[in-house]
Homo-oligomer: A and B are copies of this chain.
Amino acid sequence: MTDHTNDPTLESWVKGARDTDFPIQNLPLGIFSTSTLTPRAGMAIGEYIVDLNALYEKGFLDGLNLSGNVFAQPVLNSFLAGGHTRWSALRRIVSDLLTEGNDTLRPHEQSVLVPQSMAHMHLPLQIPDYTDFYSSMEHASNVGKMFRPNMEALLPNWKHLPVGYHGRASSIVVSGTDFHRPCGQTMKDGDERPEYGPTKQLDIELEMAFVIGQATDMGRRIPTGSVRDFVYGLSLFNDWSARDIQRWEYVPLGPFLGKNFASSLAPWIVSLDALEPFRVEGPEQDPEVLDYLKTSGAQNYDIVLEVYLTPQGGEPSLICTSNHKYLYWNIAQQLAHHTVNGCPVSVGDVYASGTISAPDENGFGSMLELSWKGTRPIQLKDGSTRTFLLDHDTITIRGYCQGNGYRIGFGEVTGTVLPALP
């Protein structure tokens, strides 16, 4: 069957879908429950969710030749392990069922379409490992200028390899999970001894993460040309950071407690298949990279990214507009580098980009950069200012690809800072 899934003119019989983040061209995967439905897999369409467990039970997914119902599970891992052919087949089948003129599902509408307003979204993955890269040249340069003012902004290795580090899987939470301001050890400039207490420099990092859908054995390398067999898709990610804790602890082994108190993942994972029309070329890489990191053509994605800060009881202020396309290192290079030494990847692994900062000041992806280390307060609509986050502040990241008359949206990842626990 011809694949029409990315046809911009395709319309769904689900009303209003085109005007949301989730038109029929998107169909992102997530895990949801309601007061009567246990956690299960679903695909967003307009303001609804297609219940994949219900589709499976009614036989509409028989074409996938599954040996069991992977959609009744509380995480997507088992479905993802089926591989790219199955990912594409599911999207094609559901796209077909939702296309205007196809009335197959209409008699079942009540049981297969769940309003998002009635659904509770869950962390969609069991995450075996989580890696965070540092792939935005603008972000790495900004941090370098602030913290190493007398040196080159970029460290010598930065343009030769996609720098990354292992993060904490256990503290990745789904959008909407609030968390307490973390406590920890910090050292003031000039002090003799560190002090303990709640962080005074709670920050965000505007990131996107890719999700692994195909595992490798130890020793196996993934060449840059094979990345799309291994990566299911992308999601929004906020890597909350406590800058004062991080600055004191991070030498010489990297960020630790400044990061691992919470990281927020959006509930919807948008497939690379749906993002295919939005591939663009990334920044030119100079100096030339080593052979195992070479790619050609359009390896980045044109995804507009926005960060909103909402004070308690107030309205959201847009504090940053950036784009995934600015990343110096693309996901093919990140995955090829990560596995060049034989490091095995697992289904459900999450690989975040690092803060995605745009070249201009309004597009810096952290408050550290936006406020330039606290020296340029960020103005909010209510007249108040921020250098770092206050208790009860809410951060919401949104993202979308702008098509001709429709958007492939990522929904949002949001979280609110609660006061530190005593």
Contact = CB atoms under 8 A, between A and B. Distances in A.
B166 A168 contact: yes
Nearest to A177: B218
Interface in A198-242: 218-219, 221, 242
A254 B170 contact: no
Interface string A150-165: 0000011100110111
Contacts of A155: 251-252
A167 interface: yes
Contacts of A78: none
Contacts of A194: 157, 160-161, 290
Nearest to A260: B343
A170 B134 contact: no
B165 A185 contact: no
Interface stretch (A21-29, A271-279, A334-342, A378-386): A334-342
Interface string A243-268: 00100111111111100111000000
B254 A171 contact: no
A196 B166 contact: no
A187 interface: yes
A36 B248 CA distance: 54
A325 to B, nearest CB: 23
A421 interface: yes
Interface of A: 128-129, 134, 155-157, 160-161, 163-171, 173, 179-180, 182-185, 187, 193-196, 218-219, 221, 242, 245, 248-257, 260-262, 287, 290-292, 337-338, 340-346, 349, 421
Those 3 A-B pairs whose CB atoms lie nearest each other, nearest first: A254-B254, A182-B341, A165-B253
Given A161-B249, A166-B166, A170-B218, 9 more contacts: A128-B128, A134-B253, A160-B194, A163-B256, A165-B254, A171-B344, A254-B255, A260-B343, A261-B343
8 contacts: A128-B128, A157-B187, A183-B341, A185-B340, A193-B287, A196-B290, A218-B261, A254-B254
